[in-house]
C-alpha cells in the first residue's frame, strides 16, 4: 500500500471577492425533480457531452459500502486533515466514524476525462478543453459542446448536495498537453466562516480541496501519476489503464441511501430509463448509444432496454417515428418569424404491465398521457402531462424534438434552468425571437397534450351484418395510432418480470400486423416475440379486448360480439391451445396471433407468459 496522502486546502476570500460555497450549493435553484434524479441527470448528461467522437459513453453506477481497508485509506490518506469549521468538519467525522460508510460512485468510460490545465488562472493550449477547471474550480462556465446537453454547469452542485457531508472524490484518466495523465482530488462545499489565519482573522469561502500543495503557494493541485492510480485503487474505485480515459466520482455518505438499498438501485434504474431512454434504445447507432450498468456491492443489476418497459415502449415508438419520418409526425411551426421549431409524434397503445423495479412507488406514471420534450441531443428535458384516453386499458405517449437549426436549438438551450429540467421562456429577453420560439412551442405542446383524448379510439358505423375490412382498418388506425400500423416488422415491446432485473423469459407486447379473412370470418393478425433464454417450458396467455365508441371493452359486450383468439402460429406450425391458453414449451421466436373481429370494433390483445408447472 502506498503511503502518499492528500493535504487540505481551504479557500480564503481574495481581496476582489469569491463565491461562497453556500451560494454555489444554491445555484441549482429548486429543481422540479427529486435529488437522486437531479444527480443522475447531471452526471449522465456530463458523460454524454464528454463522449469521445465515434463512441457512445458507458456509465457505471456503483452503490457500495467501504471495506475496512478502504475506510482506513479514506481516514488516513485522504481526509486526515479536516476543515477548521465545525459545520464543515463534523459531518465528515460522522461519516468516518461509521463502521462501513456507503458511497455512490458514478464512473464513465469512453469519455475524455477531466483534461486541460488544473489551475483556473492559466489558459489552455490552443484547441485544448478546460474540463478539469470547469468541473473542479469554476462555476457557471458556458457549454463548449455543440448541441450538448449541458449549458452552464451549475448542476454539478447536485453531486455535492447528494453527499451528507457535501464531499466528493474525483479520479480521472485524461490528457493534458497531449500527454496522458491520471488525477485524483477531493472537494467539499461547506459553509463560509471566519477563522484565525496566523496574522489575524480571515474570511473563508467554505470551499475545500484535498490534494497536493503547490510549491511555494497555498493552493491544492490534484495528486497525479502512479500515486493517484494507487490511491484510487486503495479506495476501491474502478481500475483504469493508461489511456482508458474517463472520470469516477465518489459521493461520500450519499443522502439517497435509506434502509433498503435494493429500492435505491430500483430508483436509479427508473431515473436512468425515465430521463435517458432515447439514448438507450436498442437500435441506436453505437456512437450515440448510452451503455449503463448498476452495481450493488459489486453485484451487477442490469438495466432493461426501454423498449421492454411500459410505458417507455410507446415513447420509443414515438421517437422512432420522428427519426424515420413516419406518417403521423407533425411539424410545430412559428408564423412570425416563420420557422420550424421542431417535430412531434404521438402514439397510442394498450396499457402494458409496469415493471416493479422498487417497492416504494415508481417514477413511471400509472397511465401514460405525457409528451417528452428534448433537444436534438435527445436527452429528455421534461414531460408535459395531458388528458388520459377515455378507455382505461389504453394510454398514449408523445415526443417533441426541437429543430437542430442553430438559432432555434440555442433558444431552447438558453431557456433551460440550471437543472436542465424545463424550458422557461421567461428567462429569455422580452420580445426576442428566442423567447417567442420557446413560448410558441410550449403552447403547441400543451395544446396537443390536452387534445389527444378529445376523441374516442374507434367509431361505430351503425348496425352491420359483418365488418368491412376497409372500415375496420380505419378503426384500427384511430385506435392504435401509427405505432401499430407499421406492420409485421414493427419493433417488439416486451413485458418483463420483477425483482430488479429482466426475467429469463418474456413476451413482447403484440403489435398489429394486418387484417385478413378466413371463410366468412374477419380477423386481425398480431405479431409478438417470445424470449426464452433458459429454454423454459412456457405457457402463453392471451386476453383479447375490443374498443368501441364510449370506451367500452369486451366485458361490456354481449357474448357474440366479444373478440376471441382464433389461433396462434409459429414458424413450425400451429400452436396447440384453447380459451386463450397455449402451450409453447421451450419455444423462442416470433408468433402470430389471429383475433376474430366483432362487428365494427377495433381489437387488441394482451399477452403474458408463465413457466409451466409440473402436474
pLDDT in tens, 603-615: 888 899 998 876 5
- Does residue 188 share a domain with residue 131? yes
Q: Is residue 277 part of a domain?
A: no
Question: Which of 322, 263, 321 lies closest to 296, judged by CA?
Answer: 263
**What digits encode the pLDDT tens for the residues 392-424?**
778 899 999 999 999 999 999 999 987 788 999
CATH number where 224 lies: 3.30.565
246 and 343 share one domain: no
Q: Which of 386, 421, 454 is the last residue of a domain?
A: 454
Q: What is the pLDDT of residue 148?
A: 44
Q: What share of the chain has pLDDT > 90, as a percent?
A: 50
> Same domain for 161 and 36?
yes
pLDDT 10s digits, 506-544: 888 888 777 776 666 778 888 888 988 778 899 999 999
Is residue 137 in a domain?
Answer: yes
Query: Which is more confident, 426 or 561?
Result: 426
In the predicted model, is pLDDT for residue 385 greater than 60?
yes
Residues 392 and 473 occupy one common structural domain: no
Instruction: For residues 292 and 280, give the distance between their C-alpha atoms in angstroms, rounded to a whole number.
Output: 8
In eight-state DSSP terms, residue 162 is: T
Query: What mean pLDDT comes out for the span 15-20?
Result: 70
Q: Read off the pLDDT of residues 551-598 as tens digits, 9 standing for 90 and up.
A: 444 454 455 557 889 889 887 788 888 889 999 999 988 898 988 887
Domain final position from 242, 257, 272 = 257
408 shares its domain with 478? no
> Are 175 and 116 members of one domain?
yes
Give the pTM. 0.76
Confidence band for 426, pLDDT divided at 50, 70 and 90: very high
Band of residue 150 on the pLDDT scale cut at 50, 70, 90: very low
Q: For 9-18, 33-42, 102-111, 378-387, which range has the lowest pLDDT when averaged over its residues?
A: 9-18
- Across residues 425-452, what is the average pLDDT? 94
pLDDT in tens, 344-369: 999 888 788 888 888 888 889 999 99
Average pLDDT over residues 172-187: 95
Q: Is the confidence at residue 372, as pLDDT, over 80?
A: yes
| Statement: residue 115 has pLDDT above 90 | yes
pLDDT value at residue 17: 67
Contact 387, 360 (CB under 8 A): no
Determine, yes or no, domain membership for 460.
Answer: no
385 located within any domain: yes
Based on the fold, state whether residues 383 and 484 are members of the same structural domain: no
User: Which one has a higher pLDDT value, 149 or 45?
Assistant: 45
Alpha carbon dihedral 412, 413, 418, 422, in 10-degree steps, equals 30
- Kindly state whether residues 481 and 365 are assigned to the same domain: no
Residue 476 sits in the same domain as residue 379: no
Residue 283 belongs to some domain of the structure? no
Residue 325 belongs to a domain: yes
Could you say which of 257, 292, 326 is where a domain stops? 257
- Rounded to whole angstroms, the Cα distance separating 429 from 409 reads 16
CB-side neighbour CA atoms (13 Å) of 288: 16
Per the domain annotation, does 278 fall within a domain?
no
Would you say residue 297 lies in a domain?
Answer: no
For the residues 313-330, what does the mean pLDDT come to? Answer: 92
Q: Strand pairing of 369-374 and 394-402?
A: parallel
459-517: per-residue pLDDT in tens? Answer: 222 233 344 555 555 556 555 554 443 332 334 444 443 334 445 788 888 887 777 76
DSSP one-letter string for 243-305:
T--EEEEEEESBTT--S-HHHHHHHHHHHHHHHHGGGT-TTS-TTTPPEEEEEETTEEE----
Same-domain pairing of 84 and 200: yes
> Cβ(248)–Cβ(339) under 8 Å?
no
pLDDT band for 156, please (50, 70, 90 cuts). confident
pLDDT given for residue 151 in this prediction:
39
Range of the domain at 350: 308-454
Instruction: Say how many C-beta atoms besides its own lie within 10 A of residue 574's C-beta.
Output: 10
Number of residues in the chain: 615
- For residue 555, CA distances in Å to 543, 547, 562 come to 11, 11, 8
* pLDDT tens digits along 91-110: 999 999 999 999 999 999 99
Question: pLDDT exceeding 70 applies to what percent of the chain?
Answer: 82
Residues 37-49 as b/e (b if ≥16 CB within 10 A, e otherwise) read bbbbbbbbbbbbb
517 phi, psi to nearest 5 deg: -130, 145
CB-based contact 511:486 (threshold 8 Å): yes
Say if residue 200 is in the same domain as residue 105: yes
Does one domain contain both 344 and 480?
Answer: no
Number of separate domains in the chain: 3
Residue 39, C-beta contacts closer than 8 angstroms, at least 6 positions apart = 106, 158, 159, 161, 162, 251, 256
Amino acid at each position: 500500500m502506498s503511503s502518499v496522502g492528500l493535504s487540505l486546502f481551504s479557500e480564503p476570500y481574495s481581496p476582489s471577492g469569491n463565491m461562497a460555497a453556500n451560494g454555489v450549493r444554491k445555484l441549482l435553484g429548486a429543481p422540479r425533480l427529486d435529488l437522486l434524479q437531479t444527480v443522475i441527470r447531471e452526471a449522465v448528461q456530463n458523460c454524454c457531452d464528454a463522449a469521445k467522437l465515434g463512441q457512445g459513453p458507458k456509465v457505471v453506477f456503483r452503490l457500495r459500502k467501504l471495506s475496512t481497508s478502504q475506510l482506513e485509506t479514506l481516514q488516513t490518506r485522504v481526509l486526515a486533515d479536516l476543515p477548521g469549521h465545525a459545520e464543515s468538519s463534523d459531518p465528515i467525522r460522522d461519516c468516518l466514524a461509521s463502521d462501513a460508510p456507503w458511497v455512490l460512485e458514478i464512473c464513465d468510460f469512453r469519455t475524455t476525462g477531466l483534461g486541460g490545465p488544473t489551475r483556473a488562472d492559466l489558459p489552455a493550449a490552443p484547441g485544448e478543453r478546460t474540463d478539469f477547471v470547469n468541473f473542479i474550480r469554476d462555476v457557471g462556465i458556458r457549454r463548449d459542446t455543440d448541441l450538448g446537453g449541458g449549458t452552464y454547469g451549475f448542476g454539478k452542485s447536485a453531486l455535492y448536495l447528494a453527499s451528507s457531508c457535501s464531499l466528493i472524490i474525483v479520479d480521472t484518466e485524461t490528457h493534458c498537453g497531449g500527454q496522458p495523465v491520471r488525477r485524483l482530488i477531493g472537494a467539499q462545499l461547506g459553509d463560509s466562516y471566519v477563522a484565525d489565519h496566523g496574522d489575524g482573522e480571515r474570511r473563508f469561502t467554505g470551499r475545500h480541496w484535498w490534494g497536493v500543495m503547490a510549491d511555494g503557494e497555498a493552493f491544492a493541485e490534484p495528486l497525479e501519476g502512479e500515486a493517484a492510480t494507487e490511491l484510487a485503487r486503495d479506495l476501491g474505485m474502478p481500475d483504469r489503464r493508461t489511456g482508458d480515459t474517463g472520470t469516477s466520482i465518489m459521493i461520500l455518505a450519499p443522502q439517497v441511501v435509506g434502509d433498503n438499498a435494493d429500492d435505491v438501485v430500483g430508483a436509479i434504474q427508473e431515473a436512468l430509463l425515465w430521463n435517458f431512454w432515447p439514448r438507450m434504445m436498442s437500435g441506436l447507432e453505437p456512437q450515440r448509444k448510452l451503455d449503463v450498468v448498476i452495481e450493488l456491492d459489486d453485484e451487477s443489476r442490469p438495466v432493461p432496454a426501454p423498449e421492454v418497459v411500459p410505458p417507455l415502449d410507446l415513447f420509443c415508438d414515438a421517437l422512432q417515428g420522428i427519426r424515420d419520418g413516419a406518417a403521423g409526425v407533425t411539424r410545430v411551426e412559428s408564423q412570425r418569424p416563420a420557422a420550424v421549431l421542431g417535430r412531434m409524434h404521438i402514439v397510442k397503445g394498450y396499457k402494458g404491465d409496469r415493471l416493479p423495479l422498487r417497492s416504494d412507488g415508481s417514477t413511471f406514471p400509472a397511465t401514460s398521457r405525457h409528451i417528452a420534450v428534448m433537444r436534438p441531443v435527445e436527452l429528455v428535458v421534461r414531460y408535459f402531462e395531458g388528458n388520459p384516453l377515455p378507455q382505461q386499458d389504453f394510454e398514449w405517449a408523445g415526443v417533441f424534438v426541437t429543430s437542430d437549426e442553430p438559432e432555434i436549438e440555442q433558444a431552447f438551450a438558453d431557456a433551460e434552468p440550471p437543472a436542465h429540467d424545463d424550458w422557461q421562456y421567461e428567462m429569455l429577453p422580452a420580445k426576442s425571437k428566442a423567447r417567442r420560439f420557446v413560448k410558441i412551442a410550449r403552447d403547441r405542446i400543451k395544446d396537443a397534450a390536452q387534445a389527444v383524448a378529445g376523441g374516442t379510439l374507434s367509431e361505430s358505423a351503425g348496425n352491420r351484418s359483418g365488418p368491412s375490412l376497409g372500415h375496420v382498418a380505419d378503426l384500427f388506425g384511430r385506435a392504435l395510432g401509427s405505432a401499430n400500423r407499421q406492420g409485421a416488422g414493427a419493433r417488439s415491446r416486451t413485458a418483463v418480470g420483477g425483482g430488479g432485473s429482466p426475467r429469463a423469459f418474456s413476451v413482447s407486447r403484440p403489435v398489429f400486423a394486418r387484417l385478413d379473412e378466413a371463410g366468412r370470418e374477419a380477423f386481425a393478425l398480431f405479431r409478438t416475440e417470445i424470449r426464452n433464454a433458459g429454454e423454459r417450458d412456457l405457457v402463453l396467455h392471451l386476453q383479447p379486448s375490443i374498443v368501441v365508441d364510449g370506451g367500452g371493452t369486451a366485458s361490456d359486450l354481449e357474448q357474440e360480439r366479444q373478440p376471441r383468439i382464433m389461433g396462434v402460429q409459429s414458424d413450425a406450425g400451429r400452436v396447440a391451445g384453447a380459451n386463450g391458453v397455449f402451450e409453447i414449451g421451450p419455444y423462442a421466436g416470433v408468433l402470430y396471433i389471429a383475433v376474430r373481429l366483432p362487428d365494427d370494433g377495433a381489437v387488441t390483445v394482451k399477452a403474458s407468459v408463465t413457466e409451466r408447472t409440473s402436474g
